[in-house]
Amino acid sequence: MILLNPGPVTLSQSVRNALNGDDLCHREPEFAAMTKRICQKLEAVYLTTQTEYKSVLLTTSGSGAVEAMLSTFSPSDGKTLVLCNGVYGERMVTMLQRQSKPVEALMNEWCSPLCPLKLEERLALGDITHVAVVHHETTTGRLNELSAIAAICLRYGAKLMIDAVSSFGAEWIDFDSWQPLAVAATANKCLHSIPGVAFVIARELALQQQKSAATTLYLDLQLYYREQRQGWSPFTQAVQGFMALEAALDEFHQLGGWQARRESYQRRGEMISSHLATHNIQPLLNLTESSCVLRTYVLSDTIEYHILHDELKKAGFTIYAGQGQLGGKVFRVAVMGAISDFEIQHLLMLFDKVMGC
Ligand SMILES: *Cc1c(COP(=O)(O)O)cnc(C)c1O
């Protein structure tokens, strides 16, 4: 099956092979050494060696990493503003509500960009200490433009937390100039590993702080950080998931890092968009506003989502439905994973068959 949903992704042979490694206890030195190597390889995706940022590995899905970031860093004695233009921003609001932390949502239309002016007006009131934002809002495929947002946060002294779950490894994350407090992401999207391992990259000083804001023990990043510096973990980790992630990161770096990944996604996306245009299927967003990872297409009157989905699935491809208010109106095609151009060509032929050429 070729997965064109936004994670999990089609695995490469080397990641599959890594899953077949020897059994290993997470309290043995081989595991600690592997953990330290993975942290270095993750940090090397965007950072140079002399960095104030450190990664923390968790056994959870992407939402678990986002929730750990919010649990650990979002304060009870401050206020977090969440910028929303889709499902994942709104999910962060719910997480903070569940944690009983002061939170406010800055709502935008799902199909609109985030508005830096509105952010600035809100921060000027003075009570916001933290800002949380989604980088690639997978609901629509929009890549939120974070340079202006980050600059405003810096100017007003608000600490920035980023959900980069569906952009980490394929879009530029500018740690040096955005200066985020923390960035949450996962193994099973643009890094092409299996689901089950996710991570947060955060300022080391914040990870070392005496006082933790964490509302749960299991999602307290400071607890993990203290042990992971030596390679250990407070709880059992997904050992095979770690093995797979290390193989995926080795492949990622060998193939040319995030820039090369971005290029290959962009090429796949172009092949699909230009072909769908011949069937009069248009993208929901202006393509310059879309991430390289996923594009959303508006369904035409002549084809229903479930028919398109089922016909493609019969032939070995899984596409993805619209969520919430976009359900039934659009379909999404993600281009992550170990997919060849040949397989994309096959997909285009299937579109012809289903849509009638
Ligand atoms: C996939 C995704 C998540 C996490 O989803 P999980 O199902 O928990 O892995 C979070 N944020 C964004 C933007 C995503 O695309």
Ligand 1: which residue has its CA nearest to atom 4? 62
Tens-place pLDDT, residues 52-106? 999 999 999 999 999 999 999 999 999 999 999 999 999 999 999 999 999 999 9
For ligand 1, say whether the CB of 140 is within 6 Å of any of its atoms: no
Pocket test for ligand 1, best of 85, 88, 295 (most atoms within 8 A of CB): 88
Ligand 1 centre to CA of 168 (Å) is 11
* CA 320 – ligand 1 centroid, Å: 14
Strands 130-134 vs 80-84: parallel, antiparallel or unpaired? parallel
How far apart CA 39 and CA 35 sit, in angstroms, is: 6
Q: Is 22 helix (H, G, I), strand (E, B) or coil?
A: coil
Which residue's CA is the closest to the ligand 1 atom numbered 6? Answer: 62
Question: What does the pLDDT read at residue 304?
Answer: 93
**So what's the pLDDT on residue 19?**
96
Ligand 1 neighbourhood includes 86 CB (under 6 angstroms): no
Give the pLDDT of residue 50.
77
How many CB atoms sit inside 10 A of residue 318's CB? 14
- Give the residue from 50, 325, 290 showing the smallest Cα distance to 170: 290
- The answer to whether 7 touches 336, Cβ cutoff 8 Å, is yes
Q: How far is the CA of 314 from the centre of ligand 1 (A)?
A: 26
Reference 135, options 258, 219, 281; nearest CA is: 258
For residue 294 and ligand 1, the question of a CB distance below 6 A is answered with no
Name the packing angle between helices 257-277 and 239-254 (round to 10°).
80
CB distance 95 to ligand 1 below 6 Å: no
pLDDT digits (tens, 9 = 90+) for 341-356: 999 999 999 999 999 8
Strand partners, 103: 80
What does the block give as tokens for 215? 């509302």
Q: Which two tokens stand for residue 59?
A: 């056994």
Give the residue ranges of the chain where pLDDT is below 50. Answer: none
DSSP string, 171-220: B---HHHH--SEEEEETTSTT---TTEEEEEEEHHHHH-SS---SSSTT-
Q: What is the dihedral of CA 336, 337, 339, 341, to 10 degrees?
A: 30
Report the alpha-carbon angle 173-49-223, nearest 5.
80
To test ligand 1's pocket by mutation, which of 166, 167, 183 has the most ligand atoms within 8 angstroms of CB? 166
Distance 246 CA to ligand 1 centre (A): 21
